[in-house]
Amino acid sequence: MGRKALRALALSGALAAGVGLVGTSAASAVMPDRTATSRTEVRVHESDEALTRTVTVDGLRVRSGPGTSSAILGQIYAGQQVQLITSARDSGGQVWDLVMLQHNSAGGLPSGYVGWVTEAYLY
């Protein structure tokens, strides 16, 4: 998937955040609030190269949004490759990454699936 397509996917998810999930494979995203009370800061990666990360633990939860209060959509496992789309920092300072799976997950998620994971378990 190209850079423009990934950016469009991230923006589409952000726009859909107010109405929930769009389809079964797109996770909602949170639009950054530009006020002083902002709880989530989103940064879109501008690189022409796809940023690929590897999962470091078994059973990493893939969520519908950045934060532990977001619904769990499935799990991914150590060694699995994911493509980084964007990142967000929650109100507690934890960084969450919106990722796309590069291969089917042993946890039942298909290749191309998009969801949020905590950045702490990616390298």
DSSP state of 94: -
Q: Is the pLDDT of residue 27 over 50?
A: no
Contact 117, 60 (CB under 8 A): yes
Number of H helices, E strands in the chain: 1, 7
Taken in order of first residue, the domains within the chain and their CATH numbers are 3-31+40-121 (2.30.30)
- pLDDT tens-place string over residues 74-102: 999 999 999 999 999 988 999 999 999 99
pTM of the model: 0.63
Inter-CA distances, 47 with 43, 79, 107, Å: 12, 23, 29
Structure tokens at 34: 């530009």
